[in-house]
């Protein structure tokens, strides 16, 4: 049975693990190719106009898998909570039901449900259709393999990227599905590396920063990704980065709140911040120009003020 995995949203964290899980269960995982114009177009046509770009792109990948790859079922991660008492975003909670609206009638979905009771790599997270068919022991083994792959992926993400020289150090804050999707982020990481910049990403933030209280707020943020971004920004400030780039998708809800909180804290630290908003109309030239101007500015600032 060929199961399509859309290369979007949290695929960029957990995707490799899902692949090896399905493989170990005896299915044939089919991952959609990296996002391109094709998927964006399909997604924009299928999804509601006002929804955020990453969700549109997800729908595009789903349609691609259904129409081009002609898979037998689509794997849809339904991740309400991947850590205790934090949500990802309401759109993740409604994802399977939104996907149903764009899938051809009768195409089955395989869910991967994480919520308060069903932890990330627990047997309960696996769709009932798989659990009923396979022996529990086999699923357990596949899950432990998946967990291992996931932790490898995590180490890979947490390793410092780019040159280690004494050049510029720039922190990037963004959701993983914006940052690691080369098409959406206009290859921001590649561009920074090409400019010989040392890049910090939210995934490189040490765990203790994620647990720390955020100064000025009297309760922790209730979004997993927003909290990571907040913690990352504070960590970058502590590290004394030369500048921070905030990559956000147009219409992203949590980002509008977290972005404001981050901007205020970075301003207190006197760190330059470039806010880049992505949508399906973003042009590459405008993006590159803004990035270049920002890097020039930060470089000059560093050489002038030491």
Interface residues with other proteins (CB under 8 A) are 47-48, 50-51, 80, 85-91, 93-94, 96-98, 100-101, 115, 216-223, 250-257, 259-261, 264
Q: Which of 238, 161, 237, 158 is nearest to 203 (CA)?
A: 158
Q: What CA–CA distance (Å, rounded) separates 115 from 117?
A: 6
243 and 271 Cβ atoms separated by less than 8 Å: yes
Cβ at position 54, least distance to other proteins in Å: 12
Q: What CA–CA distance (Å, rounded) separates 125 from 73?
A: 17
Cβ at position 230, least distance to other proteins in Å: 11
DSSP β-ladder status, 243-249 and 73-79: unpaired
Cβ at position 137, least distance to other proteins in Å: 29
139 and 131 Cβ atoms separated by less than 8 Å: yes
Kindly list the distances between the CA atom of residue 157 and the CA atoms of 44, 84, 186, in Å, as whole numbers in the listed order.
29, 22, 19
Cβ at position 237, least distance to other proteins in Å: 16
Q: What CA–CA distance (Å, rounded) separates 233 from 278?
A: 19
Copy the structure tokens of residue 147: 């967990």
Helices (H), 68-164: 90-93, 95-102, 128-133, 136-158
- How many CA atoms are closer than 13 Å to the CA of 61, on its beta-carbon side? 25
Q: What CA–CA distance (Å, rounded) separates 7 from 260?
A: 29
Whichever of 122 and 267 has its CB closer to other proteins, that residue is 267
Give the gyration radius of the chain's Cα atoms: 20
Whichever of 49 and 284 has its CB closer to other proteins, that residue is 49
Whichever of 1 and 101 has its CB closer to other proteins, that residue is 101
Whichever of 97 and 296 has its CB closer to other proteins, that residue is 97
Angle between the N-to-C axes of helices 53-67 and 37-46, in degrees from 0 to 180, rounded to the nearest 10: 100
Cβ at position 262, least distance to other proteins in Å: 11
Cβ at position 261, least distance to other proteins in Å: 7
Cβ at position 136, least distance to other proteins in Å: 24
111 and 146 Cβ atoms separated by less than 8 Å: no
Whichever of 152 and 268 has its CB closer to other proteins, that residue is 268
Whichever of 108 and 253 has its CB closer to other proteins, that residue is 253
Whichever of 50 and 137 has its CB closer to other proteins, that residue is 50
Cβ at position 99, least distance to other proteins in Å: 9
């Amino acid at each position: 049975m060929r199961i399509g995995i859309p290369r979007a949203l949290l695929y960029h964290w957990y995707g490799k693990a899902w692949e090896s899980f399905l493989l170990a269960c005896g299915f044939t995982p089919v991952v959609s190719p990296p996002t391109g114009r094709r998927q964006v177009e399909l997604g924009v046509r299928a999804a509601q106009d006002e929804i955020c770009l990453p969700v549109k792109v997800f729908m595009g990948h789903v349609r691609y898998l259904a129409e081009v790859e002609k898979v037998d079922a689509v794997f849809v991660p339904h991740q309400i909570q991947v850590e205790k008492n934090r949500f990802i975003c309401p759109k993740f909670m409604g994802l399977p039901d939104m996907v149903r609206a764009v899938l051809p009638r009768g195409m089955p979905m395989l869910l991967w449900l994480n919520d308060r009771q069903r932890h990330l790599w627990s047997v309960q997270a696996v769709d009932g259709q798989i659990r009923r068919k396979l022996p529990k022991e086999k699923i357990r083994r596949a899950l432990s393999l998946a967990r291992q792959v996931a932790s490898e992926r995590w180490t890979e993400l947490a390793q410092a990227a780019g040159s280690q020289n004494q050049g510029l150090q720039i922190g990037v804050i963004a959701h993983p599905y914006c940052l690691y999707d080369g098409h959406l982020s206009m290859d921001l990481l590649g561009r920074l590396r090409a400019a010989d910049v040392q890049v910090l990403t939210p995934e490189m933030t040490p765990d203790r920063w994620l647990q720390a209280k955020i100064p000025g707020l009297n309760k922790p943020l209730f979004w997993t990704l927003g909290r990571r971004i907040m913690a990352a920004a504070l960590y970058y400030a502590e590290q004394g980065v030369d500048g921070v780039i905030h990559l956000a998708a147009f219409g992203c809800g949590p980002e509008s709140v977290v972005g404001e909180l981050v901007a205020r804290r970075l301003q207190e630290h006197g760190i330059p911040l470039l806010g880049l908003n992505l949508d399906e109309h973003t042009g590459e030239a405008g993006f590159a120009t803004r990035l270049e101007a920002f890097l020039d500015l930060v470089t000059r600032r560093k050489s002038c003020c030491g």
